[in-house]
Amino acid sequence: MKRQLIVGLTFALAAMTAQAQPREPKQEVNPVVHDALMDHGDGHLMDMQGGMIMGQNKDTLPGGCDEIAENKEITVKAGRKYAKPGFIFGFDQNQWKVKPCTRLTVNFINEDNVRHQWMMHGLPKYIYQKGMFHLEITGPAKITGTLILPPNDKTFLVHCDIAQHMEKGMKAELVSGKGTGDLPSIPGLTPHALPDSYNVNAPEPVPSTVLAEQVDVAAAALKAKGGDSESAPGAAAKGAKATADKAPSSGGSWLSGMTILGIAIGVFGAPHLWQRIRARSKGDDLASLVDATVDLLKEWLGMALDLAMQLYHRYKK
């Protein structure tokens, strides 16, 4: 009886000790501050320890901004400990909101012992090379950069471009003004664009080779209809390219190379477009699908305007 009591007490004590001690020692993050970078021009700054800023812009107002709307500073923490459930890496926040024409200073603190980036896409290319603003550093370290947002409402993709880091959780969005709709697959914010399926009965995605065959068959059928002497199966065997090459010489045939190109874009593009609309849609109902379609069209319009602004600024000089 006495021995049982001692054994019991020993177990209780061991359990309490185990609970009192955390499994991993608490890690104090003491980031190295990279604040003496060499300016290589065009907003590209680097230091010998591997700190990097691309697209630094403290003064140049984007076209359409009469003045700086606001000076804003954010601090972004990056690392494994900020990963959302199901992910490996993460930012401490996955969405930031700013006003258009804001001068935004980003303090990027990488708390991991690997390299991470805070990379923003979709900025006007006449100011930002490749349309990017980008902070990069091996942690634990801190790096700070500044950019000025363009005047349009837009949702910008922010991610870490190191292989697999975005897929494993380092994806976020920066919403300027009203934005242009949430991006898909933002951890903790929006669902996966292509959710994993473990249903063995689910239909397989159609491989592109099958689609290519469908284009060939469609082209052959159209050619046969157009009154060409060659039989449809024969034309199918030769493929769409041969059809496109020969079509102009068949004299007045409406089946031109452009038609084939149009069919190809339609056959390849339609499923892709549908997939993108579905990915954005909040549900399968008509209203959500229409919303998603309008969102996508607005984004394309934004891209077209960006391009127009870029051309305008290039040829204005």
Q: Which stretch binds Cu ion (CB under 5 A): 128-136, 159-167, 289-297, 302-310?
A: 159-167
- DSSP-derived 3-state class of residue 28: coil
Site for Cu ion in 116-135 (CB under 5 A): 116
Site for Cu ion in 212-231 (CB under 5 A): none
* Residues facing residue 141 across a β-bridge: 32, 110
Q: How far is the CB of 116 from Cu ion (least distance, A)?
A: 4
| Least separation in angstroms between CB 54 and Cu ion | 15
Whichever of 106 and 292 has its CB closer to Cu ion, that residue is 106
What is the nearest approach in angstroms of Cu ion to the Cβ of residue 114?
7
Pick 80 or 97: Cβ nearer Cu ion: 80
- Please choose, from the candidates 147, 140, 143, the residue with its C-alpha nearest in 3D space to the C-alpha of residue 174: 147
> For residues 80 and 278, which CB has a smaller minimum distance to Cu ion in the complex?
80
Q: Which is nearer to Cu ion, 29 or 162 (CB)?
A: 162
We find the least distance from the C-beta atom of residue 137 to Cu ion, in angstroms, to be 10
State the Cα–Cα distance between residues 78 and 110, nearest whole angstrom. Answer: 5
User: How many amino acids of this chain bind Cu ion (CB under 5 A)?
Assistant: 4
The per-residue b/e assignment along 220-255, b for 16 or more CB within 10 angstroms, e otherwise, is bebbbeeebebebeebbebbbebbbebbeeeeebeb
Query: How do strand 38-39 and strand 154-159 relate by DSSP bridges?
Result: unpaired
Closest separation between CB of residue 70 and Cu ion, Å?
29
Task: Specify the amino acid at residue 231.
Answer: S
| 128 within 8 A of 60, measured Cβ to Cβ | no
The interface mask with Cu ion, positions 98-117, x = CB under 5 A, is: ------------------x-
Cβ 113 to Cu ion, closest distance in Å? 12
3 state SS of 241? helix
Site for Cu ion contains 160 (CB under 5 A): yes
Closer CB to Cu ion, 101 or 166, in the complex: 166
Q: What number of residues does the chain have?
A: 317
Q: Is the dihedral of CA 135, 136, 139, 141 positive or negative?
A: negative
Q: Which among 137, 142, 140 has a CA at the least distance from the CA of 109? A: 142
Q: Cβ of residue 128: shortest distance to Cu ion, in angstroms?
A: 21
Residue 233's H or E segment, with its range, is: helix 232-246
Task: Give the contact letters, 162-201, x = binds to Cu ion (CB under 5 A), - = no.
Answer: x--x------------------------------------
State how far the Cα of 8 lies from the Cα of 11, in Å rounded to an integer.
5
Instruction: Provide the H-helix boundaries in the chain.
Output: 2-20, 208-225, 232-246, 257-280, 286-316
Q: Does 77 bind Cu ion (CB under 5 A)?
A: no
Nearest distance, CB of residue 117 and Cu ion, angstroms: 6
Nearer of residues 119 and 244 to Cu ion, judged by Cβ: 119
**Smaller CB distance to Cu ion: residue 49 or 113?**
113
Residue 116 or residue 142: which is nearer to Cu ion going by CB?
116
Query: Which residues here bind Cu ion, judged by CB under 5 A?
Result: 116, 160, 162, 165
